[in-house]
Structure 1
């Protein structure tokens, strides 16, 4: 009997010792934060990608993150033969396509976003964007007849998902286009890689998608993130907001457009009409916890307009937004009114009722 008790005691002591070792080990894994980051810049995802890590000796994490971005770019391509999205579009109306688990995850997430936005966000808009091809050398203004013929093939409800087999089937004539969600999904994926490497302090910048980890080692208020000037190239700002552990996603008419007969046609399309969104917004910047949510909301808010967009934001927890109108007015959600710093005298803050 004494031997059994002694054995049990030894097991308990071993478990306590092991737990203590694991706790000590996890403490050792905490990385020192430095004021000057290690930075990697590359041209990927049709934009400039910049990763900044505020810890030393993070080459392995950088390499893994860049490799992940390249892999996802290939996986979600609509033009690369063998890519998941390419194969789905090629098999439209013919057969379900088995895809990578990550491709399934992003399309499943996109479909849920379409439901919550009542179709304002819709990845099956490819049937129309393929006509316009804004951002490509072949960009053009399609005829009204072409657009009307494409509209019946835009409906997220017709995307059939089989979670068990990880297959996706779309109707004949449908075309998936993940450009409005892919950068957000990938940014969140890079953050997961960084966390795996015990990184706590970093900035992930995928063009219009900025995802911050932790807070700035050089500013007690947090990372000072600029709000893009919608009338200028990327990098010029109208103001800034301090953030901590947050995603900042911007959509605007400055990004990609074509011009015909003196009129600019930007790339943000309305799935219901097949034409560019016509309203008073020139740019919208969304502050969220995850980058993928910011992607979805930036598109949806553009379609909703300033008044309805602000109303939607006020009903959401942990989400803020900056709308910029075509008269250079800046409209702020309630949570940003005391946090936004105006830095461009050509713009003015509009006081909402």
Structure 2
């Protein structure tokens, strides 16, 4: 399961704002069209163990950057595991003892994670904490645990044992030793919250990048109603190296892959993407999955769930999810695209990858 420093796993997507160098300034007597600028107001900060970049293209909206980063920091402090004062840590500390009241935003995040755990039948499991903390891939103390250690903790991974109380806004983990790890969904949730902040501050055109969770707000400034162009990360190369592109406006693109964070033991590479059923990293033919949808929190959860199901099962799952599409990249360098993206996805000729179709 994904893990930022709360567990971060999504690969950074290359984004190409082909329209980031235009300007519109039309207005009428009754309605003013937002004015965009050639060079966006931009800030980049290292938060939650990843690089966060926000670009705002609306003239006079520079202050929205600070407010957006304030929201990122606030939520990161509340949901990060092993962070002093974290609400998620407080919930985990009281596992098997008592319910813990959390803030409305954290409760919404946990409730959403529980719902997706249900919907995916545990392919995404918010209670994966005992396993991710055991391996701790991506951290200096990462190691391959023994089978005995994994077997002892696996029974604690069960989203059904997470009890929520809407009236009291409390979270209760039924068994001692249970632990939430929201790294597989937190970045998406925070991305969506940043978009809300931008909209409340009158921003109509922006790019939000939370370590690979990309959200493009509005249309590209180059011309009226033009889409942005978002690159799909090559999972075997450095961040920002794309194998192809998709057009998007008011949408998010979220990528999960096995090469971003890993552990090598006796020549075998283990990814940070954990299977809640086996307690080991996934071992299938998938190398990367990119989800295109309207809400980044959906993209996060779906990218994890599809990894669990593999190529064929993941594609079937996505085709039944009418609000999202996906691009699957396999270890033999083939690219499979869901039906909703077949006309829009453009594979670079020199990418070294080939388009393929499931039989």
TM-score, structure 2 as length reference = 0.88
Query: Does the Cα contact within 8 Å between 2:243 and 2:347 map onto a contact in 1?
Result: yes
Cα deviation digits, residues 172-191 of structure 1 (max 9, x gap)? 11011110000000000000
Query: Runs of 5+ in structure 1 lacking a partner?
Result: 1-23
> Which residue of 1 is the match for residue 109 of structure 2?
106
Give the aligned length: 329
- Cα displacement string for residues 287-342 of structure 1 (whole angstroms, at most 9, x for unaligned residues): 01100000010000111111121122222223111000000001111122221111
Alignment of 1:284-323 (within 5 A): 284-323=289-328
Which of structures 1 and 2 has the bigger CA Rg?
1
> Alignment partner for residue 331 of structure 1, among 312, 331, 336?
336
SS in 2 for 1:73: helix
Which 5+ residue runs of structure 2 have no aligned equivalent? 1-27
User: Is this contact kept in 1: 2:130–2:156, CA < 8 A?
Assistant: yes
Q: Quote the residue 1:352 is aligned against.
A: 358
> What is the aligned partner in structure 1 of residue 144 from structure 2?
141
TM-score, normalization by structure 1: 0.90
2:180 pairs with 1:208: no
Secondary structure of residue in 1 paired with 2:128: helix
The higher relative CO (CA closer than 8 Å, separation ≥ 6) is in 2
| Structure 1 residue 122 corresponds to structure 2 residue 125 | yes
Asked if the contact 2:312–2:358 (Cα under 8 Å) also holds between the matched residues in 1, the reply is: no
Compare the two structures and name the one with the higher helix fraction.
Answer: 1
| Structure 1 residue 35 displacement after superposition | 3.4
In 1, Cα distance between equivalents of 2:30 and 2:99:
45
**1:191 and 2:195 equivalent?**
yes
Does residue 1:262 correspond to 2:262, yes or no?
Answer: no
SS in 2 for 1:179: helix
Counterpart secondary structure, 2:316: helix
- Aligned to 2:107, the other structure's residue is in SS state helix
Deviation at 1:51, TM superposition (A): 0.4
The question of 1:176 aligning with 2:180 is answered yes
1:58 equivalenced with 2:95 (yes/no): no
Residue 37 of structure 1 aligns to a residue whose secondary structure is: strand
**Per-residue deviation, 1:25:** 11
Q: Offset of 1:267 from its aligned partner?
A: 0.5
- CA distances 1:65-97 after superposition (whole Å, capped 9, x unpaired): 101101111111211222101111111111111
In 1, the alpha carbon distance for the partners of 2:209 and 2:30 equals 28
Contact kept? 1:49, 1:206, Cα under 8 Å = yes
Q: Tell me if structure 2 keeps the 8 A contact 1:35–1:218.
A: no
Q: Please, what is the CA RMSD of the aligned residues?
A: 1.6
1:233–1:254 contact (8 Å) kept in structure 2: no
